[in-house]
Each structure stands twice: as structure tokens, then as C-alpha cells.
Structure 1
Amino acid sequence: MHLVKDQVKADARAEFGAARIARTEALVVAAARELFLEHGYAATALTQVARQAGVAPRTVYVRFGTKAALFRRVIDEALVGDAEPIDVAHRPRAQDAMTARTLAERLNALADVTVGIADRAGALLEVAAQAEGAEPEIAEAAQSGRRETARLCREFWSRAAHDGLLESTVDIEQLASTTDALLCADTMVHLRRVHGWAAAEYGRWLRTALVALGRTSG
């Protein structure tokens, strides 16, 4: 009986400790996001983040290690919209883009996912573009993200073809590369910088382009 009680107490302590860590990390991530957006990557120091979050500098270093690692955490949470360890590709709306009944429904879901990313992370992706030249870790993460976007675009059209939603004569690779160019983070950043587009403008442009692409392939 004592062993059971001791285990229950240990489990409760562990749960409380995990919740406290999660709260602390959430405070740090929120503070870092605000500072990165306000000052940019280079001008933001971890000591500033700690001050903004109301925690000791050592806490930030222990939980995240480096500024690059903290920035990647900020970006990762912005991409999906929360701190849950589920990437964009495995979120429900992204799954709709791969499995919906019609090509139009899949393209609409794909647009929803991408516009959501632009809304939550567009400004941070611009900060990331500025940081790539100075931080190899961020540069590698950005390149990995580009490869993943390209892979998902290829998978999107391959599944559509497999499910009989495309004309047999369409070029899957051409569709995939065109879609990749529409969806990739570099395009979002370019449109923000050159045209001043926020997520709403990007979304209208993207949906029009995807509908046109669907008409040529379905």
C-alpha cells in the first residue's frame, strides 16, 4: 500500500513539474516572439528574452540552449499554432488536403493550411530570412523546410493522380514544382517585402492560382 501511495505522489510531482516547465517555456516563447518581431534576430539577446518573460537568464539557457534553438521553437509553434508536437503535415486540415473526395476540396484545404501559416508565421519567416546568413542552424532548418514543402507538393499531386482526380496526361512533376513555388516560405517573404502583402492578400492570390491550376489538371 505504501508503495502505491509513494508512486502516486511521485507521479503527481512529475506532472506538476512538467506543467511548470511547460508554463515557463510558453512565457519564454511568447516573449521571444515579441522581441524577434520588434527588433529582428540579430538585435535580440537571450537576456532580453529572459527579462521580458520574467524568468532568470539561466532558465532560458537551460531550457533552450542557444538563441537559434529558441528561434526555431518560436517558428515551429507559429507554423502549427500551438505547442503540441504534431507537425503541419499531420494536422487535420492538412490530412483533408490529401484525402478529400474532390480535387477542389483538396486544393481548398491546401490553401487553408498555407494561408494559416502565412497568417501565424509570415512576419517570423521574414525574420528567419534575415537570420539565415548569420546562423547555420537556422539556414539548415530553412532548407529542410523547403525540401519538406517540395515533398508535400509532390505527394499532394501523386495522391490526386492515384485517386483518379487528374487527367492521365498531366505532368505530376510540373504540377508539384508549380505548387511548391506558390506555397513556399520564400514566396511568402517575397510578397511581403515587395508587395506589402499580409496573409489576406496572399490568400486571395493563392486561392486564385490553385483554382486555375486545378482547372488545367482535373
Structure 2
Amino acid sequence: MPPRVNASTPATPKRTYNSRRRQQLAEQSRLTVLARARELFLGKGFGATTIAEIARAAGVSPESVYKNFGGKPGLVRAIQEQSLLGAGVLPAQQRSDLAQLTTTDPLVLMEQFGRLNSEVSTLVTPIVLLIREAAASGDADMADLLQEVDDARYRRMLHNAQQIAARGILRPELSAQEAADVMFASTAAELYETLVLKRGWSADRYGTFIARTLAANLL
């Protein structure tokens, strides 16, 4: 008589492992595509770079790039969003929020803002300049993305301004909206472009400048 099979036996760990492994490989492939796309876009420009080149450099099919990113505008959006995470273990926005909740010295908080701004700007400014150039050439998708990027950055700066206002750190005569404008100007790609890319400032010097600018205008 054959042994009885227990119908309630759970799925084998091997299937769970295989599923997790597939997810890991898919994410690694996604990151590789973004890395190769970033290199090609910044090296050749948005218009001169093709999906076929990106796919070949990443070792994937063009169809998979279209499926996952929807074409070049979607790739640039994904690269820009990835750049906003910064270079730390925790995403830059999460570190910013944590600093706003825990830092008691307003000057130290501005220093942390300056460091995060410098860190993120190093990664995101080349992509914003790429979007700006493509938009200026008449690409409607890139023009829309440029506006989307600016709008999202302003919303983030307004969030930061409202947080420091709620803690009583902000100069009394300033509204959160006015503070957001100062922070919006201080995080503009054009400022990083002028001081770092054109004038050769170091990232540390730039971060210190932003910290002092924010402290002088907000505290």
C-alpha cells in the first residue's frame, strides 16, 4: 500500500528560494540597465543614445528595456529618482527627515542639510542638466519631465520648511512658503553647475556654502 500524502504539506523552501533568487536577478538587471543608460546618456547625450545601445551594454534585450522603463524618458526618470536616494545606506530623504526630528541645534541641522544637498546634487545635477538640454532641443517628454522634477523638488522643500517651522527653528518673520523658496533656490541644479562644474568647487566646499546660506536666511 503506497504511503499517504499529506495534502497540507507546505510548499518546499526551494520554491521560495527560487522566487527570491529571480527577484534578486531581476533587480540586479534593472540596476545594470540604469547604470549603463546613465553612462551612455551622459557620454553621448539624450538624443544620440538609443535603446538598442543601452540594451547591448547591459546585456539585455531592447524589448525588456521597453517593458520595464517604457523607453528613454522612462529610463531618465528612473535614473533621476535613483540619484535622489543619494550615496548612503539610507535614502537621502529618510536621513533628512530623521535629522529634522532628532537634531536639536539649528546650525547642526543646516550643516546636515548642506551635506545632503551636496551628496545628492553630485548625482542628480548631471541628469537634470541632461533633461534640461533635451527639453531645450524641443523634446516634449523631456520638457514635461523637467517640470515634474522641479515640482517634486519644490514640494520636498516645502515639506522641509514646514517641518522646521513646526519645531520653532525658522526665523519668526518668515513663512514656510518663503523658507521653501530659499531652500528651492539652494537646491537648484544651476547653482551646483555654476559653483562645482564651472568654478571647480569641491563637494565639501559646496555643502558648507549651502549650510551657511540656509543658516543666514532661515535662522
Say which of 32, 45, 48 aligns to 1:27: 32
Does the CA-based 8 Å contact 1:153-1:180 persist in structure 2? Answer: yes
- What are the residue-to-residue correspondences of 1:162-173 with 2, within 5 Å? 162-173=166-177
Q: Structure 2 unaligned runs (5+)? A: 1-5
SS in 1 for 2:47: coil
Q: Which residue of 1 aligns with 2:117?
A: 114
Q: Provide the rounded CA distance (Å) in 1 between the counterparts of 2:214 and 2:91.
A: 23
Query: Which residue does 1:103 correspond to in 2?
Result: 106
Q: Could you tell me which residue of structure 2 aligns to residue 63 of structure 1?
A: 68
Deviations 1:20-72 (A, max 9, x none): 21121121111111111111111111111111112222222222221111111
Distance change in 2, residues 1:139/1:4 (3 Å): farther
How many residue pairs get matched?
212
Does residue 156 of structure 1 match 2:160?
A: yes
TM-score of the pair, normalised by structure 1: 0.80
Distance 1:92 1:140 in 2: 29
Of the structure 1 ranges 190-199 and 61-70, higher mean CA displacement relative to structure 2 is found in 190-199
1:130 paired with 2:130, answer no
The aligned runs of 1:184-199 (5 Å cut-off) are 184-191=188-195, 195=199, 199=203
Instruction: Specify whether residues 213 and 35 from structure 1 end up closer, same or farther in structure 2 by C-alpha distance, changes over 3 A only.
Output: same
More helix by share: 1
Deviation at 1:143, TM superposition (A): 1.9
Aligned counterpart, 2:215 = 211
Deviations 1:162-194 (A, max 9, x none): 222244334443332122111123433455565
Cα contact 1:102–1:165 (8 A) shared by 2: no
Instruction: Report the RMSD for the aligned CA atoms in angstroms.
Output: 2.8
Q: TM-score, normalised by structure 2?
A: 0.80
Computing the radius of gyration from Cα coordinates, the structure with the larger value is 2
Tell me which amino acid in the other structure corresponds to 2:108.
E
1:135-185 Cα deviation digits (max 9, x unpaired)? 433333332332232233333333323222244334443332122111123
Q: Give the Å deviation of 1:18.
A: 1.1
1:176 — aligned with what?
Answer: 180
Quick check: 1:16 aligned with 2:21?
yes
